[in-house]
Structures are given as C-alpha cells and as structure tokens.
Amino acid sequence: MPEARHEAATLLAVSNVHARFAMEILGHSQVSATMVACTHVPESPKREAVPHIDRMLHRRRTRSPTLMSKTDARSPGA
C-alpha cells in the first residue's frame, strides 16, 4: 500500500494538482506528509522548471534598479 500511495502522490504532483487536494485524496492529515514523505518529482519536470525560474530571476534583476531607487528615496523614518 505505501508504494501505491507514493506513486499516486507523484502522479498528482506531476499533474500540478494542488498539494491540499492531493493531501485530501491520499487521506493524509497534514500537507507535509504528502509533500515530504510520499512525493517524488522526476527529473524532467525539474529540468522544465529551470527556464521558468531563470526568466523570473531575470525579470527581477531588470526591475531591481527601479525598486532600489524607490527604496532609497524614502526617508529613514518612513
């Protein structure tokens, strides 16, 4: 039975099912049990996530000077 639960948790995670829903489907009492103990994410979704993360970080780097100038413009007591 633990193998079936592990496989189901992995399939739910790869299918982008929200962790809370997966927890309820699998009958866990806490999301941490679903995410830590049962879920294994294969390498391909990890590799697919890298370009998305890179784009998000690149956007932050290009926006950060604007954000920094707004922060620097504030007075210390504000």
Please report the pLDDT score of residue 8 as a whole number: 86
On whether the pTM is more than 0.75, the answer is no
Average pLDDT per block of 10 residues along the chain, 78 residues long: 80 85 90 75 74 84 57 51
Please report the pLDDT score of residue 2 as a whole number: 72
Please report the pLDDT score of residue 39 as a whole number: 64
Please report the pLDDT score of residue 66 as a whole number: 53
- 55-71 burial, b at 16+ Cβ within 10 Å, e below that, comes to eeeeeeeeeeeeeeeee
